[in-house]
Amino acid sequence: MKEAPVIQLQDVYRTYEMGDQVLHALGGVSLEISRNEYVAIVGASGSGKSTMMNIIGCLDRITRGDYLLNGINVGDMSEAELARARNREIGFVFQSFNLLSRASALKNVMQPLVYRGIPRSERKRLASEALARVGLGDRLDSRPNQMSGGQRQRVAIARALIGTPAILLADEPTGNLDSKTSQEIMALIDELHEQGQTIIMVTHEPDIAAHCERVIHLTDGRVESDRRQRTVAA
């Protein structure tokens, strides 16, 4: 039997009402993403890819349609259940890193586990392991402002992965990095994919999207194309 998809969107709408105007950020999107897929969501600005990312990441709610995450309908979830889903199923990597500026790398990575009730010593152990895996085993006590962009993004990736989420959700992960560092980060993400991590990446850069096995192209809140491709090694 085929495994159930991690993400199932069925005729999803997300509309904003601005005065008497109704704006469809997403206008009837249907797609499925399975375990271990490596997907890029691309499109021009205003195409709805950020909205898509927010919805998949359980940060935003859909207006109409169905969103099943691991077979569970997100539309029925309460605020607290959404938070729980973000904590357990999603690992975010943002363009602007979004690290806690006052906390060390270690504390940043430990933070998601606080909401799972894992004791501090265990959190520390898991977080230092995760940081070692992204090559920052020697920067545990550095603060974000003491690190380079690439290092910060590595911390963010370690933080995203510490909870072993179903999906790694990356929003323009290389948008703030120079090309050399971008390559390094993409190499890291490729490696994660090879280890079996499901990855969804929002980007507008074709060479970043080229790393993915599947590219979903959004235009005006609809899926324009959804194709699989041969990947380019970093």
Partner 1 sequence: MFALFESFRSALESIRAHGFRSLLTSLGIIIGVTSVIAVVSIVQGLSYTINAQFAGLGGNSLTIRSYTPFKKQLQGRLAKLRDSDMAAIERRVDGISHITPVLFTQTGSQGAISYRSQTSFSRVIGIGPSYLDVNSVYPQEGRFFTADDDARRRLVCTVGVDVIEELEMPDNSVGEYFRVGNEWCKIVGVMEKRGELLGFSQDNFVLLPYGTAKRIMGASRDLDIQIQLLVDDMNRQDEVKERVRRVLRQEHGLRPGEPDDFKVQTAEQLTESFNTVINMVTAVSAGIVGISLLVGGIGIMNIMLVSVTERTREIGILKALGATRQDILLQFLIEALALTMIGGLVGVAIGYGVGAMVAAMLPGFPAAHVPLWAVMLSFGFCAAVGIIFGIVPAAKAAQLNPIDALRYE
Binding site for partner 1 (CB under 8 A): 54, 57, 59-60, 79-80, 83-84, 86-88, 92, 94, 98-102, 111-112, 114-117, 159, 163
> Of the two residues 54 and 183, which places its CB atom closer to partner 1 in the complex?
54
Q: Which is nearer to partner 1, 57 or 221 (CB)?
A: 57
* Segment (H or E) for 49: helix 49-56
- For the bound state, the minimum distance from the C-beta of residue 102 to partner 1, rounded and expressed in Å, comes to 5
Minimum CB distance to partner 1 smaller for 190 or for 197: 197
Alpha helical stretches, state H, 79-201: 79-89, 105-114, 120-133, 149-161, 179-194
Residue nearer to partner 1 on the CB measure, 119 or 196: 119
Identify the bridge partners of residue 75 per DSSP, sorted by sequence position: none
Which residue in 37, 90, 92, 56 sits closest to 215, CA to CA? 37
74: nearest Cα among 4, 164, 12 = 12
Nearer to partner 1, 86 or 217 (CB): 86
Closest distance of CB 65 from partner 1, Å = 19
Q: How far is the CB of 120 from partner 1 (least distance, A)?
A: 8
User: Smallest gap, in angstroms, from Cβ of residue 183 to partner 1?
Assistant: 26
From the CB of residue 221, how many other CB atoms can be counted at a distance below 10 Å?
23
Nearest to 202 by CA among 173, 159, 165, 231: 173
- How far apart CA 198 and CA 231 sit, in angstroms, is 15
- Closer to partner 1 by Cβ: residue 43 or 112: 112
Output the smallest distance, CB 115 to partner 1, in A. Answer: 4
CB 57 within 8 A of CB 92: yes
Least gap, CB of 192 to partner 1 (angstroms): 18
Amino acid at 139: R
